[in-house]
Amino acid sequence: MSLRGFTHEMRVTLAVAMLCTAVALCGLSGPAGAEDTTKTDNASVDQAAPPVWREFHFPERGFVVSFPGVEEKPKAESTPVPGQNPLLQHEYKVKTGKDTVYCVVVFEYPEGRAPNPPKKDYFEKVVTAYAKGSDTKLRRKTPLKIDERPGFEAKAEDGRGKLNHLITMVANGDRIYMLISAGPKKHATSVDALRFRDSFRLLGGPPPEMAKKPNPDKG
């Protein structure tokens, strides 16, 4: 399917929605696209001053992240996965300017049924599905840890190198988190993309493997 003529935000929405195509084997379905959580009324104002970043807490989903350009906490588009209830998917999305989108997607499994810990190919299937949906090619895939939890990161771009996506994933208990930052050329390595990624942190105490370790300061 050609995405020529689609806006960059529409490409991201379609990419997230199409995750179900390749992630069905993992027991997931892609979240439905959410409406814009912010709108720019004056393009000249938008170009004159960079958007202000604000930190938002989502204790009900177990994470904290900073979004640019909004004063109120973005609301989730939450959808039960057909045929796999009570598996849920939650999407928080903010658009800035004409072609930059920041998005957090949370896949929430029933207790004890999430892949724990997820294997490398689990993350690869998800980012590959995203690349297919956004009509981009993966340029780099790297395993990593966030707050000592297993994770994965990938960069993608369109065939002409004009649109960049930074995709970061991390697993925590019964939830899988996916951060998407997408914008113009070189966005994936930009200050804003890294700021969005680095602002994300998990709530709910230390990871299980750390919780089991004895405290050297006691006893």
Give pLDDT tens digits along the chain (219 positions).
Answer: 333 443 444 444 444 544 543 333 333 333 333 333 344 444 444 455 788 999 999 999 999 999 999 999 999 998 876 655 677 889 999 999 888 999 999 988 888 888 777 877 888 888 888 888 888 899 888 888 887 888 999 999 987 767 899 999 999 988 999 999 999 988 999 999 999 999 999 997 555 554 444 554 544
Three-state SS at 208: helix
Residues 122-157 as b/e (b if ≥16 CB within 10 A, e otherwise) read: bbbbbbbbbbbbbbbebeebeeeebbebbbbbbbbb
Q: Find out whether 207 and 147 touch, Cβ atoms under 8 Å.
A: yes
- Is residue 216 left, alpha or beta, with left meaning phi > 0 and alpha meaning psi from -120 to 50? alpha
Spatial separation of the C-alpha atoms in residues 36 and 93, rounded to whole Å: 7
Q: Provide the token pair at 62.
A: 């177990």
**Which candidate, 208, 213, 133, 212, places its Cα nearest to that of 171?**
208
Q: Find out whether 93 and 106 touch, Cβ atoms under 8 Å.
A: no
Q: Find out whether 105 and 167 touch, Cβ atoms under 8 Å.
A: no
In this structure, the dihedral spanned by the alpha carbons of residues 169, 14, 140 and 162, taken in order and rounded to 10 degrees, is: -130
